[in-house]
């Protein structure tokens, strides 16, 4: 009995000893893991509240402010978090220096500005010195408060293009006078992909030439405002452009044209998509548009003021030159005391001059579009009621009706993503041009009101 009790006691003590060894190993493992995790997160996360430039997560970062309260937390990869309050001006960004002109930026952000702020792709070039913005979203004010020079459609949206001048202001080269280039998205978004080449090429077609890149950065800017932004995902790659205006693609389109006043603009459209907007001068100029898009090629003209007419000499598609006066589809020419005709290089009215398909197919007449596509119907309109079929225009935000002289007869600012929109028109009998502007595409069609 004594021996049995002795043996059980030894077993118990042995168990306690073994458990102590296990517990010691456990505590050591926890300690090692804690040190490891602390080290990892210490490397990946860093908060800075004073002006600073450095490298972290495979990207160059810069935090800059002039006054007010704000901090930037650097997270793994291209991710970061920024908060600011009562700021004068603040920029928090991560990107590539110098970056490349075919840079792409894919991002996702929880962006909560209060006041004036931009969520954008941002950077500088030298020779010439240029500060540039590709604005994806903004706060209380849509920048930059100037007149648009053109548009570029890419990455599922249309951007208005602007050029502004900064006189004796801070820059990467000290206090200088320099140009600012802008692409500002018509509809805000806080996630997606930006194909920089499409914007850079569209700017170049408008005479807004880029110099040597200093940086391409994903940026949060605050100006006399407060807010927060959690950039929970940001990465950079490369692409020559494949989704709209100004991109380098499989089709090279050249347009030789001029305007009467030098204020005229032409939209280069393939299918129902505006690829690029051309700003004409009073002398013939050859514009080059590169795109991967295929379909019916139209030059679209809006005559928004008296004394403005466009003259198109020729269009060249992949080396195949077509003279404007040999084209049979021209709804913009004034012939026989009305808009619309053929075999003319002049564009007086709101309308299009057609040059066939980029692959050589015959152009489709917009009056024959099936209502399963983007369309305006019925046409002619007999009871003052008309419907807009939205197949892939995106979110419709503006509808404008022009008379035959190019004056606006009626316009709406809307916010509608529905597939079918019904309108009531209170307009006199006559021929009009209806222009429907969507976030992805636009639709223009001649309508006849016969009631």
The tens digit of pLDDT for each residue in 380-439 reads: 888 888 888 888 777 787 888 877 666 778 888 777 767 788 888 888 888 888 888 776
Average pLDDT over residues 93-114: 94
Is the pLDDT confidence value at 367 over 50?
A: no
C-alpha distance across the termini of the chain, in Å: 117
Is the pLDDT confidence value at 93 over 90?
A: yes
- Provide the annotated active-site residues: 131, 221
Is the pLDDT confidence value at 38 over 90?
A: no
List the one residue out of 374, 369, 364, 372 whose CA is nearest residue 394. 374
Query: What pLDDT is recorded for position 40?
Result: 37
Query: What pLDDT is recorded for position 430?
Result: 86
Query: What pLDDT is recorded for position 44?
Result: 54
30 burial (CB, 10 Å; 0-12 / 13-18 / 19+) is: exposed
Query: What pLDDT is recorded for position 31?
Result: 37
pLDDT band per the 50, 70, 90 thresholds, residue 377: confident
Query: 141 versus 389: which is more confidently predicted?
Result: 141
Q: What gap in Å lies between CA 258 and CA 445, rounded to an integer? A: 24
Question: How does strand 157-171 pair with strand 103-126?
Answer: unpaired
The tens digit of pLDDT for each residue in 188-211 reads: 999 988 999 999 999 998 889 889
- SS3 call for 32: helix
Query: 19 versus 71: which is more confidently predicted?
Result: 71
The tens digit of pLDDT for each residue in 313-339 reads: 999 888 788 888 888 788 899 888 888
Query: What pLDDT is recorded for position 405?
Result: 62
Can you say whether the dihedral through the CA atoms of 440, 446, 450, 451 is positive or negative?
positive
List the one residue out of 296, 192, 185 whose CA is nearest residue 234. 192
- Give the whole-number percent of the chain exceeding pLDDT 90: 45
């Amino acid at each position: 009995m004594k021996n049995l009790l002795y043996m059980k006691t030894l077993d118990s003590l042995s168990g306690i000893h073994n458990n102590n060894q296990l517990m010691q190993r456990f505590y050591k493992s926890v300690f090692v893991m804690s040190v490891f995790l602390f080290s990892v997160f210490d490397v990946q996360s860093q908060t800075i509240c004073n002006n600073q430039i450095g490298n972290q997560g495979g990207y160059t970062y810069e935090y800059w402010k002039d006054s007010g309260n704000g901090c930037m937390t650097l997270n793994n990869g291209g991710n970061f978090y920024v908060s600011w309050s009562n700021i004068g001006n603040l920029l928090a960004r991560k990107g590539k220096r110098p970056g490349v002109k075919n840079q792409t930026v894919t991002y996702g952000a929880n962006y909560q500005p209060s006041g004036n702020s931009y969520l954008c792709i941002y950077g500088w070039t030298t020779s010439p010195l240029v500060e540039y913005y590709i604005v994806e979203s903004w706060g209380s004010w849509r920048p930059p408060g100037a007149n648009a020079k053109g548009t570029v459609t890419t990455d599922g949206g249309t951007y208005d293009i602007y050029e502004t001048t900064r006189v004796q202001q801070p820059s990467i080269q000290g206090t200088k006078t320099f140009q600012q280039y802008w692409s500002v998205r018509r509809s805000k978004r806080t996630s997606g992909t930006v194909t920089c080449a499409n914007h850079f090429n569209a700017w170049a077609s408008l005479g807004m030439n880029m110099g040597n890149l200093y940086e391409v950065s994903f940026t949060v800017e605050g100006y006399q405002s407060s807010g927060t932004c959690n950039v929970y995902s940001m990465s950079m790659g490369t692409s020559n452009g494949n989704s709209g205006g100004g991109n380098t693609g499989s089709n090279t389109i050249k347009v030789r044209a001029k305007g009467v006043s030098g204020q005229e603009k032409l939209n280069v459209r393939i299918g129902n998509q505006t690829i690029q907007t051309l700003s004409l001068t009073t002398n013939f100029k050859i514009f080059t548009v590169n795109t991967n898009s295929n379909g019916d090629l139209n030059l679209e003209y809006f005559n928004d003021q008296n004394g403005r007419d466009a003259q198109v000499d020729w269009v060249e598609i992949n080396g195949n030159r077509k003279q404007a006066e040999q084209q049979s589809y021209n709804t913009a020419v004034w012939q026989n005391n009305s808009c619309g005709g053929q075999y003319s290089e002049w564009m007086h009215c709101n309308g299009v001059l057609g040059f066939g398909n980029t692959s050589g197919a015959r152009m489709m007449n917009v009056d024959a579009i099936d209502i399963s596509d983007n369309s305006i119907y019925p046409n002619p309109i007999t009871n003052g009621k008309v419907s807009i079929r939205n197949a892939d225009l995106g979110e419709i935000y503006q509808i404008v009706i022009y008379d035959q002289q190019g004056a606006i007869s009626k316009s709406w600012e809307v916010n509608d993503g529905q597939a079918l929109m019904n309108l009531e028109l209170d307009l006199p009998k006559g021929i009009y041009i209806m222009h429907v502007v969507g976030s992805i595409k636009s639709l223009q069609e001649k309508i006849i009101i016969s009631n």
